[in-house]
Amino acid sequence: MLRRIETRIVNALLGDSIPLPSYATDGSAALDLRACIAEAITLEPGGRALVKTGLAINMMDPGLVAIVASRSGLSLKHGVRVAQGIGVIDADYHGEIGVILANDGQLPYVVQPGERIAQLMFQPVVQVALQVVEEFSTVTDRGAGGFGSTGKG
C-alpha cells in the first residue's frame, strides 16, 4: 500500500536554485537529498560537517521512520559518508533534516550547493515491549553462539 507523506520546504534555495529531492528512477527506493547551502563546504580528511537539506518532513504516522543513508558513489570515489552510519528521523521530528557527513578519504572534499549528498528512505517501524526473564524457553541449533559461530567469519 502506497503511503503519502507531507513534506515542507524550509529553505528558500530549495526548489528555486537547488532541485527538490527526487527519486532518480522509477525503481529507486530512496530520494536523493541535496546540499541546500548557499556556499560550498570543505570537508578535510577526517573531518565532519552538518550539511542542511532545506527539507523538513511531517510524517504524522508513528508507523514510519525516515532513514538517511550514504550515497555509494560518494563513499567509494571520495570516502565521504553519513557519519553515524545511518541517520534515523523519528516520526515526531519536524525540524529541518541535516546530514552529518564524514570524510574518510585522503583528500579534502568540497560539498557544492545542490550536490546530492545522501539518500532518504521511509520504512515501517515496529516497537517492542521488553520483558525480563530468567532464561529463554526455547533452544535453537545456534544457542548462545556469538560472532562467527555459524561458519566462516
CB 32 within 8 A of CB 115: no
89 is annotated as contributing to ligand binding: yes
26 appears as a binding residue in the annotation: no
Tell me whether residue 34 is annotated as binding.
Answer: no
Q: Does the annotation list 73 as a binding residue?
A: yes
The annotation status of 72 as a binding-site residue, yes or no, is yes
Q: Rg (Cα) of the chain, in Å, rounded?
A: 19
Q: Does 84 show up as a binding residue in the annotation? A: yes
Q: What is the DSSP letter of 112?
A: P
Q: What is the spatial distance between Cα 34 and Cα 117, in angstroms, rounded to a whole number?
A: 5
Q: Map grid coordinates 542542511 to a residue.
A: 52
Give the residue ranges of the annotated binding site for substrate. Answer: 71-73, 84, 88-90
Give the residue ranges of the annotated binding site. Answer: 71-73, 84, 88-90
